[in-house]
Structure 1
Amino acid sequence: MRRTSSTFITLVCAFALTLLAACSETPKPETSEPDTPAGLPEVNLILISPHNTDIQKEYETAYVRHHAETYGERVNFEWRDVGGGASSILSHLRNVYENSDRSGIDIVWGGGDFNFTRMASEGILTPMELADDVVANVPATHGGLTLCDVDRLWCGSAMSGFGIFYNKQLLERLRLDPPTRWEDLGESRFFDLVGLADPTQSGSAAASYAMIVQSEETWEAGWAKLLGIVANTKKFYSGAGDAAEALPSGEALVTTCIDFYGTNRMAKYPETLQYISPRGQTAFNPDPIAILKNPPNPVVAQRFVDYILSYQGQSLWALPIGSNGGPERASLGRQPIRKDVYTQRAGEMLNSIVNPYEAGQTMQLDTGLWNDSYGLLRHLVWAAAVRNVDFMKAAKQRLIDTNFDADRLALFNRLPANVATRDAMAETSRLLDDRKQRDIIVTDWVAFFRDQYEQVAEGTD
């Protein structure tokens, strides 16, 4: 059994939360089974996964065909359903392995690296074999994040980043230039046009806000950038999916989101919606696959992992429907983890796919800052923006009217003393673990920001 540091656990936990909801996108109807030659000997593969039905069916179809052609066997897939997403899957597997050394399941796939790191440390995963071409094309780390477990107990099967999602038709009608950087969303041209999610209700929203902060060199500058963006909000939604769904109708013009929220909705409204990954302003985290301890079908399980991590299997994530090697029924819109897919399939992949390995594309994550700020930002943004939205917007309007007067802007961006510096923020982050302390701190923050906004909005010129 391995021990995992609390620092790394805290970091990857935040990323895991962003994957849970997206893996449960509304499924499409069941599709017919792939054609394979009759009379082949049959083998089984049992999987548990929070991936949506589109992903399950496209990869099942592709792999059944691949296995029949390569090994002369018909694979019967069984997808175990435990009534929930990645958290439910983790709980289920823990309970099973607490009482037995077997789960009756071969593969666990998807849901974020946090759960896989925990499963690896708890001894319920089996080391995998990785082909030489996989090792050559999947780095051990990238942008400060682990992509493949050092003991090969899990390996990323796809990657996920964060970006800007907007209604391009509405943008054209408003005669606005498209946003390409996080800071664009804080400009006055987007005032009252941004739809955002409450970070206390949405893990992916909280992660995108933390990415925005990390895109500046200091904590203080990052907060100022983030506050400028949230002050442009038209409305705060309970979830990042709700904010994204506000775009097709024009209720909001733009939002921030995890990449596959954007790409999945782009596939539904290709003429209306656009997702972009701000170059150099997001990290990309892995979405892993692993073989469980004592799998009932170990040979088939390893061969399935081989396929998922192969060039062929990785291409399926990013290619359009009907293209050579692409999905048959639904575009999946996920970032492959293999380097060679990006170089050899350049120009063939969906427009929303970017090459995270290209120089300057991926932000180097400051893991210390992330661990100190991620949980704290959820409460700080709630106090500064969600709870004070009308006061905040009045202050932002005053800034716009006064051409961002330097004194007013400095007052607007001022942080409470207990988070005014990186060191103070780190100490306060630890205090927030205590619920009573948290209630006191957040209540004080609400009052602090309200008073500050009133001064900005009502002060004389």
Structure 2
Amino acid sequence: MTVAGIIAQLKPRMADLRAKAGPLARRFWKELVGIGVLLLVLAGPFLLRPAGATGPTHYDRRLVILTPHHESIRQEFGHAFTQFWKQKTGETVFVDWRVPGGTSDIAMLLKSEYTAAFQNLWEGKQGQDWSSVAAQSCLDGKLDLSADADGKFTVGQQARKSFLDSTVGIGVDLFFGGGAYDFQSQARNGILVSSPPEQEAGLPKVAKDHPEWFSDAGIPEQVSGEPFRDKDGRWCGTCLSSFGIVFNRDVLRRLGVEKDPEQWEDLADPRLAGQIALADPGRSGSVAKAFEMLIQQQMQQALVRLTKEPGKLKTPEAIEAAAVRLGWREGLKLIQRISANARYFADSSTKIPLEVARGDAAAGMCIDYFGRASAESLQRLYGKSRVGFVMPEGGTSIGVDPIGMLRGAKEPELATAFMDFVLSERGQNLWSYRAGIPGGPKSLALRR
């Protein structure tokens, strides 16, 4: 029932109360009614809140996960793991999802939080003076830690070594979702760890229990140049994803575009001026990856052209170098033309398929499951979908959506169990099964 419906039911009772009220109450009747309605409106969100909208009031343990994943993924995996752990141990687990934004927002959050946590350790227990050098060096994965000729270390090296030897944490157990590049960066910085010191936990524990998962027949380290897992066990891909174009057929036809888009170049069509939904690549890792794929496609096309007509280029090395330069320029030009058609630059790629589905934009770049899920949701409602998704042929690649344990995790056992669950057949079924069938997601197919 809506708040308006509740008010409609209360009107007869309010009229009866007014008739029975004394002179003083009748005098301030309007004020009392106004206060009552205000209180009802304020209480409405709590009264009408759907069951399961918040975490359990009582729980035995809490698992905190930092993620850019949208609500459907969080809901399905949170619910499934909670049930799994209850059946296995009898404990009630609260999966506490933290969603500060896209992967770039998460990277900034991790940097600031871990720097602050290490500062407390550096100044407190270790009694060292905090400086800009220590702040810049503690998370610097590229810093050379070799001693000088006299066997001494700089302040920056000492800070870096101290951070890597520490168990400082930020109250978060896992980082789940994003791209391989983001996880490589966090692993290099020392924020992602394979396991806590002197504990059998993390991905090494999962690999020990299921060695077949971490092999070329299961999850190889690399496929076609794309990293699928970390050789040191600091992160591992949980599912596959690609990048493409989500589009609204009704909007395209209204704009005079009769053919569905097939390649990135189609987003630069002048008829789509002000109709392309994009996200800021500085804040969205998925859009940054899509731009990378676009540029690499231009490089490959340039290589094919120059191989057929090399001109003055004599060697394969010279042809490849020229193709990289030419493809880079052509790729940036194409990004400029697509950006000229942009309706806006959102702070998160999850907004793009929503805008396209509503008809506020004609097309946009997004991860495959966002586009397919958007198309499927409309298909279920209306029997057919005005929204489509396409992966540009030769213009995308298959990557992974990883997971990894954060330094200083408070619940390493739970974090390990969650990673094991996600990589298991039961967890993989949530990615790939249709909604509503046994073992699959409850409400919406995740399309991975």
Normalising by structure 1, what TM-score? 0.54
- Which of the residues 191, 205, 211 maps onto 1:132? 211
Query: Aligned AA for 1:254?
Result: A
- Which of the residues 58, 61, 65 maps onto 1:44? 61
**Retained in 1: the 8 A contact 2:247–2:389?**
yes
Structure 2 matches for 1:48-87, cutoff 5 A?
Answer: 48-50=65-67, 51-69=69-87, 71-79=88-96, 81=98, 85-87=105-107
**Retained in 2: the 8 A contact 1:191–1:231?**
no
The alignment of Structure 1 onto Structure 2 pairs a total of residues equal to 297
Structure 2 matches for 1:238-277, cutoff 5 A?
Answer: 238-239=345-346, 244-270=353-379, 271-277=385-391
**Retained in 2: the 8 A contact 1:183–1:229?**
no
**Retained in 2: the 8 A contact 1:166–1:254?**
yes
Structure 2 matches for 1:120-159, cutoff 5 A?
Answer: 120-124=187-191, 125-127=193-195, 128-129=203-204, 130=207, 131-135=210-214, 136-159=217-240
Secondary structure of 2:357 counterpart? coil
Question: Structure 1: how far apart are the matches of 2:281 and 2:417?
Answer: 41
- Structure 1 position 210, deviation (Å): 2.9
Q: 1:268 to 1:93 in 2, by over 3 A?
A: farther
Query: Aligned AA for 2:167?
Result: D
Q: 1:237 to 1:261 in 2, by over 3 A?
A: farther
**Retained in 2: the 8 A contact 1:196–1:255?**
yes
Q: 1:64 to 1:111 in 2, by over 3 A?
A: same
Q: 1:225 to 1:110 in 2, by over 3 A?
A: closer
- Which of the residues 84, 92, 102 maps onto 2:113? 92
Query: Aligned AA for 1:134?
Result: W
Q: Deviations over 1:312-367 (max 9, x none)?
A: 2122123332133221133334x3xxxxxxxxxxxxxxxxxxxxxxxxxxxxxxxx
Which residue number in structure 2 is paired with residue 212 of structure 1? 294
Which residue number in structure 1 is paired with residue 52 of structure 2? 32
- Structure 1 position 159, deviation (Å): 3.6
Do residues 280 (structure 1) and 394 (structure 2) align? yes
Structure 2 matches for 1:4-403, cutoff 5 A?
Answer: 31-32=51-52, 44-50=61-67, 51-69=69-87, 71-79=88-96, 81=98, 85-87=105-107, 88-97=109-118, 99=121, 101-103=167-169, 104-124=171-191, 125-127=193-195, 128-129=203-204, 130=207, 131-135=210-214, 136-171=217-252, 174=256, 176-185=258-267, 192=273, 195-197=276-278, 203=284, 204-216=286-298, 217=300, 218=323, 219-221=325-327, 223-224=329-330, 227=333, 231=337, 234-239=341-346, 244-270=353-379, 271-293=385-407, 295-333=409-447, 335=448
Q: 1:201 to 1:229 in 2, by over 3 A?
A: closer
What residue ranges of structure 2 are gaps of 5+ in the alignment? 1-48, 122-165, 196-202, 301-322, 380-384
Larger radius of gyration: 2
Q: Deviations over 1:80-131 (max 9, x none)?
A: 6486651324532453355362535433323443443344334442342322
Structure 2 matches for 1:399-414, cutoff 5 A?
Answer: none
Superposition RMSD in Å: 3.6
Question: Structure 1: how far apart are the matches of 2:288 and 2:63?
Answer: 34
**Retained in 2: the 8 A contact 1:185–1:229?**
no
Query: Aligned AA for 2:52?
Result: S
Query: Aligned AA for 2:86?
Result: A
Secondary structure of 1:210 counterpart? helix
**Retained in 2: the 8 A contact 1:108–1:291?**
yes
**Retained in 2: the 8 A contact 1:33–1:61?**
no
**Retained in 1: the 8 A contact 2:275–2:343?**
no
Secondary structure of 2:231 counterpart? coil
Q: Deviations over 1:183-241 (max 9, x none)?
A: 444568x6648515375766444442332221132342564466468647544412256
- Structure 1 position 260, deviation (Å): 4.1
Q: 1:191 to 1:77 in 2, by over 3 A?
A: closer
Question: Structure 1: how far apart are the matches of 2:327 and 2:184?
Answer: 32
Stretch moving more, 87-96 or 277-286: 87-96
Q: 1:243 to 1:288 in 2, by over 3 A?
A: closer
- Structure 1 position 43, deviation (Å): 5.3
Query: Aligned AA for 2:112?
Result: S
What residue ranges of structure 1 are gaps of 5+ in the alignment? 1-28, 35-41, 336-461
Question: Structure 2: how far apart are the matches of 1:180 and 1:168?
Answer: 13
Query: Aligned AA for 2:237?
Result: G
